[in-house]
Amino acid sequence: MASSTAPRNPTTPSLSLPPSQFARLQPHAYLLAHLSPPPASNQPSIRANGRATSQFRVTSANAGSLTHTNGSAVVRIGDTAAVCGVRAEILHTNDIASWSVLQASSEQNFDKSNEVGESKSQDEEDRGHIQDLNLLVPNLSLSTGCAPGFTPGAPPSALAQSLSHQLLSLLHTTRLVRADDLRIWYQPPNLDSEEFRSAGEGMDVDTEQSGPEREVKAFWVLYIDVMIISLAGNPFDAAWASVLAALRDTKLPKAWWDADNETILCSDDVADARKFSFCSFEGDAAAGWRAVVIPDAEEQKQKKGAQQRWILADPDGYEEGLSQERASVVVDKENGKTVIVKIEKHGGWAVDSDDLRQLVDVSAQRWDEMKRILDQC
Amino acid sequence: MVGPIASLSQLNRADGSASYKCPATGYSILGAVNAPIELPARRDALKPEEATVEVFVKPGTTTAGVGERYVEGILRSVLGKIVLGREKGFPRRGVVLTLAIVGGENVQRGDSYLTILPALLHAALLAMISASVPLSMTFSATLLGVTKSGDIVRDPSPTAAKAAVSLHVFAISSKNHLLLNESEGRFEFDTWELVRERAVSICQGVTPASTDGDVTMGEGTASASLNGFIRETVEDQVYSDYAYKLDDI
């Protein structure tokens, strides 16, 4: 008797696979089985990681984590963790080759701006200075052993490079940092301004203003380094949130031009240091990478009219690997009104206007949530 | 407005090539496709049942940087979706596309890459067609800028693009799908929908019902639509390629 039951027991488990093995062998089918459970089983449609389709992972942020930077933050979105450090360095206007040309052109802008509306063209000039002089230098590193696919110490992968570019272009288009915060001014004293110039200064001051008009002596350059220390999908969201948190944390020391030494001096008193004045709280990459899963094998089913695509918010690494189409929305709120800063959508054709409108709405909700998280940190 | 200029199969040694010039933005792109070719390092590709699409973008004067990596990623995901990589001879092999920016203003570090994206997309598509890579659909792309006064400008020049409040790139497929959308700036969703409508009318030639006929005339004269332009370019090439047969008839 015992001999006949013994072989039966091992055979029954061998016919069914544990979920973890099924997920590895048939990832598409595994995800689909969760998203569209058989109608008989009465289970709700849920993602393999237990979240609802438009549910984000638990997000936490901690500012001021690194002591040797001007500002830093650690942001975790689920298992994705990003560390961002902001380091400020001084760029002398003497070291800028095209400075006199730039200044001359900005003088003209100032003349015009008095006629047209100061704030707008000031805005333009801000953008010009930050962009032309490369005052913001973000870099994102994935070669930290954050995921099995990225070997530590390897040259930056295509993904890391394109994320760096996205961070930079988003910093530029949102105008998050004002150029005015990055300028170091010098107010020449009225009395001896003439002889002071002739003493050996005249090189970079070729716009001859005899009056004590204050001039820019240097700029702060912000090196914004993001390290993704753990990657489980959605790196852009985590990176951008960490950049935001770090910039909000950044304190620049009080700096001034010392005419006697002809250098910039900085105060080491923390009380003198100042934070940025942001024009607005630029929202986070609220919707982040929302993936659209369209399983390859299911294209015939799609025609039957059944819902064969799901828009998943904040995908983890597993879901990201299975989806082809990505849509990302960055929003900001101005007086309660949602303003879209960036939309990115490629890799398929399932998402159209209606879906995007929904994404923008979800992003607006996420904006409130992220603002609360960043305010607390 | 002067329409774009394109020609196919200009390079002899590549499997397929195309050049594309957009007079409005000033960009001129030369694209070459080699497909299907063996990729020695990709024996254990992630998806062995499909062809791997590789894209390289070369700026005119400098080496490729982070911006090029970014735009390569976009092109790869758009083209990877429409290339029928499971056709005979394609699985496990590579479709390698090289795009050289031979004319137009340089895209500086940190500049938006959107201004050049439609030209790159068109050159890529025409080069793919020239190399006879099987595609599930064709597409056309357009760049639209929204000015401060709220006007929608088609193909703004690089300086106009810098002054624009928001920039939008749309790629509409021949089957009327929205293949790609990249938008940046500050705008609201209603603006986006207006821009999208305009993009569809530019790409598809579907003239929106407008009260005055001026707008429809302006866009309907040179080539009815960008999709029509792609088709005409390919038709011209086929006519010249098969001229010897046509003479017989």
The SS3 call for residue A218 is strand
- Give residue ranges of A with CB < 8 Å to any B CB: 120, 124, 131, 134, 136, 158-159, 161-162, 164-166, 168-170, 172-173, 324-326, 332, 337-349, 351-353, 356-357, 360
Contact A347 B81 (CB under 8 A): yes
Q: pLDDT higher for B172 or A190?
A: B172
Per the DSSP assignment, residues forming a β-bridge with B96 are B34, B54
The mean pLDDT of chain A is 77
- Report pLDDT for A73: 94
Cβ-nearest to B183 among A325, A332, A342: A342
The mean per-residue pLDDT over the stretch B120-130 comes to: 95
The mean per-residue pLDDT over the stretch A281-297 comes to: 46
The predicted-structure confidence for A122-132, as pLDDT tens digits, reads as follows 556 666 778 88
The predicted-structure confidence for B75-113, as pLDDT tens digits, reads as follows 999 999 899 988 888 888 889 999 999 988 877 777 788
- Report pLDDT for A123: 59
Contact B181 A346 (CB under 8 A): yes
Confidence of residue A27 (pLDDT cuts 50, 70, 90): confident
- Report pLDDT for A299: 35
Length of chain A equals 377
Residues in chain A within 8 Å Cβ distance of B51? none
Give the residue carrying structure tokens 């961070």.
Answer: A167
Distance CA B120, CA B141 (A): 9
* Residue in A closest to B77 by C-alpha: A347
Confidence of residue B43 (pLDDT cuts 50, 70, 90): low
Contact A159 B74 (CB under 8 A): no
Distance CA A363, CA A15 (A): 44
Residues in chain A within 8 Å Cβ distance of B148? 120
Contact B183 A343 (CB under 8 A): yes
How far A14 CA sits from the closest chain B CA (Å)?
A: 28
- Report pLDDT for A192: 54
Q: Cα–chain-centroid distance for residue A33? A: 34
Contact B70 A161 (CB under 8 A): yes
Contact A348 B81 (CB under 8 A): yes
- Report pLDDT for B62: 85
| A153 backbone φψ class: left, alpha, beta (φ>0; ψ -120 to 50) | left
The predicted-structure confidence for B64-75, as pLDDT tens digits, reads as follows 889 999 999 999
* Residue in A closest to B174 by C-alpha: A349
Please name the residues in contact with B93: beta carbons below 8 A apart, sequence gap of 6 or more. B35, B36, B37, B38, B39, B51, B52
Residues in chain B within 8 Å Cβ distance of A158? 69, 72-73
Contact A353 B177 (CB under 8 A): no
Per the DSSP assignment, residues forming a β-bridge with B112 are none
Contact A324 B77 (CB under 8 A): yes
The mean pLDDT of chain B is 86
Distance CA A360, CA A290 (A): 11
Residues in chain B within 8 Å Cβ distance of A134? 109-110
The predicted-structure confidence for A78-123, as pLDDT tens digits, reads as follows 999 999 999 999 998 888 888 888 777 766 555 444 444 445 555 5
Of A147-151, A207-211, A299-303, B58-62, which range is least confident? A299-303
Distance CA A49, CA A43 (A): 15
Of A71-80, A246-255, A305-314, B115-124, which range is least confident? A305-314
How far A194 CA sits from the closest chain B CA (Å)?
A: 39
How far B239 CA sits from the closest chain A CA (Å)?
A: 32
The mean per-residue pLDDT over the stretch B11-30 comes to: 92
* Residue in A closest to B191 by C-alpha: A340
- Report pLDDT for A151: 84
Exposure string over B164-186, b if 16+ CB within 10 A, otherwise e: bebbbbbbbbbeebbbbbbbbbb
- Report pLDDT for B120: 95
Q: pLDDT higher for A195 or A95?
A: A95
Contact B184 A131 (CB under 8 A): no
Cβ-nearest to A340 among B67, B113, B189: B189
How far A137 CA sits from the closest chain B CA (Å)?
A: 9
Contact B70 A131 (CB under 8 A): no
Contact A344 B112 (CB under 8 A): no
Residues in chain B within 8 Å Cβ distance of A341? 184-186
Residues in chain B within 8 Å Cβ distance of A348? 81, 179
Confidence of residue A308 (pLDDT cuts 50, 70, 90): low
Contact B181 A344 (CB under 8 A): yes
- Give residue ranges of B with CB < 8 Å to any A CB: 65-67, 69-70, 72-74, 77-78, 80-81, 108-113, 148, 163, 173, 177-189, 192-193, 196
* Residue in B closest to A120 by C-alpha: B148
Contact A347 B178 (CB under 8 A): no
Distance CA B173, CA B227 (A): 8
Confidence of residue B249 (pLDDT cuts 50, 70, 90): low
Q: pLDDT higher for A352 or B150?
A: B150
Hey, how many other C-beta atoms are within 10 angstroms of the C-beta on A186?
Answer: 15
The sign of the dihedral angle between the CA atoms of A53, A361, A322, A303 is positive
Distances (CA, A) of A212 to A107, A192, A193, A267, B217: 16, 10, 7, 24, 58
Residues in chain A within 8 Å Cβ distance of B180? 345-346
Residues in chain B within 8 Å Cβ distance of A124? 163
Q: Which of A98, A162, A330 to mutate to test the interface with B (most CBs of B within 10 A)?
A: A162
Distance CA B9, CA B3 (A): 20
pLDDT above 70 coverage of chain B, percent: 89
Distance CA B236, CA B249 (A): 18
How far A162 CA sits from the closest chain B CA (Å)?
A: 4
Confidence of residue A207 (pLDDT cuts 50, 70, 90): very low
Cβ-nearest to B66 among A161, A342, A360: A161
Distance CA B121, CA B140 (A): 8
Contact B113 A339 (CB under 8 A): no
Q: Closest Cα partner for A165 from B101, B53, B114?
A: B114
Cβ-nearest to B110 among A169, A344, A346: A169
Residues in chain A within 8 Å Cβ distance of B70? 161-162, 165-166
pLDDT at A58 over 80: yes
